[in-house]
Structure 1
């Protein structure tokens, strides 16, 4: 069967890129500022002073999620199938490792959110503070199922962790399934016979990724009720995977073919129904191809602060909501309706969120985790939630 050949160092060189880290850093900044403009009374009080900025952050900064989706797909292709073929042994071990890696800092951040919410709830009556969690809500969060089973999220952005896991697990199973079919086919027929039925220069897995992305862009992404499932976001994720295969291609014609395929999918999707988020995802995928195939840009060392922020972006993403809630509560309590306090409080909450994210990264995320630790934090998350609910009932 014809295969795309990629240098063995390709995946490693692209998985730790200054360009990708800096891009994630900028997207992380946009998400935090969007939530500062969206949640809490500080943005409402500060709005008359900076209406244009807050309106823009409210409306457009959230689309930075598309950047994370595209980069997520890019890195998934780099680690799982740099040649378009599964390069891992056990799919379930791969999925389990991802779940544990995502879950531990996620559970720690949710415990912080639960504690902060319980502490400020008696004297900060605002819709951004979630109600006391119940047992099933906590179980759903511990298993990354809160959106699927219709439970209210305990923190802004936790939906993305569930979607990221779904996308990664689905990709792993797809790649493993294609490999199983391929081995079955080679066992029944000789290689020449198989090649006659599959003469193209792309693998079966790559073809299915393209079909999945097309189905998402043209069908599933049009139904907002599906936004708790990976199929809603597979378009952007698949564009990222295709972008990696374009970057990793040895021949320029192959790279251009992938780029044209991405452009055609995005153009078709936007012609059918314009969506700013899909335009951004397509532009991000195309820019990744151009930048990562331009040697001078690909070797760029990046801006150190942005690069470091990109490295800790997951921890910042997890912890920032509780920090923003806390700052909102304090500013509202002591300087209620003060425009100056609100205008100063918003950037202060941003800086404090980055600080908390750095602490979460250093203390939790960067360390090797295990199933034992993940289960311990799952139990801790459920216990913390039930304890705060019990204490609230005794008041």
Structure 2
């Protein structure tokens, strides 16, 4: 069952806002974590840079939850894979190409920027010259599984995203087979729950209670499935929650599992992921309350409505370019950081703070252009090519 249009509309601005905010925090985290500019500027705002250097990285949990919700809504609204469409392996290939094409371009950009940065300064966060095998391993998204040093920050997340998507597809494929077997045996009028959500719930709880508590698993999808699965289940069980006791029961049991996981081993990252998933579930109710408030206020809020529409358009544009920002900011950071290390004295804290702002601003300026001129044209070409191959 597809979410009602009102529910979908209620969720999208929230998802855009979450993606935009999380993307900015990840960029700022990397600016603060990778020196030398942040090290020299720390005397100006030590608490802020310390927070950006460590706790702010938990913003990745927002991407995991939102990514799970978007994947679930796109692949199988209601928890059942829609009939027709590409095969599951083809869907996985499309996901890999969608993420891998812009990643490949930015890896080449990172290699060039790293080479220039090495000529300017000797910095710990600038990778050494890469061999062909290392580049191929990155393009196949196997660098962490094989213990290869990353050529750019954030590549690990792209690999994890593809792995999580593969697990979701596996749950949907197995769920479809089990649903068909159950339908063949059960009476026509019998209640038949979708099996894929139950499989995802089991995997999510296994991650929260076992895999996410063991850092040895942090190079593979099971470690991150807890947050991703919360997003998936929020998308499947959240719509129509007030009218379905079964969905209420499912989310209630899931909430109990989250509480148990936090009681056994409190993790702030898990608490954040659970809060984001809860926000997605409650979004339609919150939106309904806002709509009623605007109706009671009358026409006096017309101007606020226009401002809100402009804000939603801006959020949608920034959200669309969030992956581009995630990719391009590290090459910019390497180059700007090396230039400041070469030509700006270490004691000039103010200038290094300006360098951080410059790297941030350049990344923000480059991301939309990369999205429009590199990412989108490449994806359109891939889509046409795969469609032609399928037709043949």
The bucket for the TM-score relative to the shorter chain is 0.7 to 0.9
Is 2:279 the counterpart of 1:284? no
Q: 242, 249, 258: which one pairs with 1:266?
A: 258
Q: Shift of residue 346 of structure 1?
A: 0.8
CA contact (8 A) 1:104 1:369 kept: no
Is 2:220 the counterpart of 1:229? yes
CA contact (8 A) 2:2 2:77 kept: yes
Cα distance between partner residues in 1 of 2:6 and 2:314: 26
Which moves more between the two structures, 295-304 or 275-284?
295-304
Cα distance between partner residues in 2 of 1:258 and 1:332: 54
Cα distance between partner residues in 2 of 1:298 and 1:314: 30
Is 2:45 the counterpart of 1:50? yes
Q: Shift of residue 10 of structure 1?
A: 7.9
Q: 91, 106, 111: which one pairs with 1:109?
A: 106
Q: Shift of residue 90 of structure 1?
A: 0.9
Q: 94, 98, 102: which one pairs with 2:95?
A: 98
Partner of 1:379: none
CA contact (8 A) 1:147 1:159 kept: yes
Q: Secondary structure at the match of 1:228?
A: coil
Is 2:236 the counterpart of 1:245? yes
CA contact (8 A) 2:207 2:223 kept: yes
Which moves more between the two structures, 31-40 or 284-293?
284-293
Q: Shift of residue 373 of structure 1?
A: 8.5
- 1:154-193 to structure 2, matched below 5 A, reads 154-186=151-183, 189-192=184-187
Q: 207, 211, 235: which one pairs with 1:216?
A: 207
Give the TM-score, by structure 1 length: 0.85
Give the TM-score, by structure 2 length: 0.86
Is 2:318 the counterpart of 1:323? no
Partner of 1:393: none
Which moves more between the two structures, 257-266 or 284-293?
257-266
Pair 257,166 (structure 1): closer, same or farther in 2 beyond 3 Å:
same
Q: 326, 342, 350: which one pairs with 1:333?
A: 342
CA contact (8 A) 1:6 1:249 kept: no
Cα distance between partner residues in 1 of 2:385 and 2:150: 23
Partner of 2:73: 78
Q: Shift of residue 7 of structure 1?
A: 4.6
Cα distance between partner residues in 2 of 1:223 and 1:277: 14
Greater helix proportion: 2
CA contact (8 A) 2:203 2:225 kept: yes
Is 2:356 the counterpart of 1:365? no
Pair 277,180 (structure 1): closer, same or farther in 2 beyond 3 Å:
same
Q: Secondary structure at the match of 2:146?
A: coil
Pair 310,264 (structure 1): closer, same or farther in 2 beyond 3 Å:
same
Is 2:113 the counterpart of 1:121? no
Q: Shift of residue 219 of structure 1?
A: 0.1
Q: Which has the higher contact order (CA 8 A, sep 6+)?
A: 1
Partner of 2:297: none
Partner of 1:385: none
Structure 1 alignment gaps of length 5 or more: 375-395
Cα distance between partner residues in 2 of 1:10 and 1:175: 26
Cα distance between partner residues in 2 of 1:331 and 1:297: 50
CA contact (8 A) 2:107 2:151 kept: yes
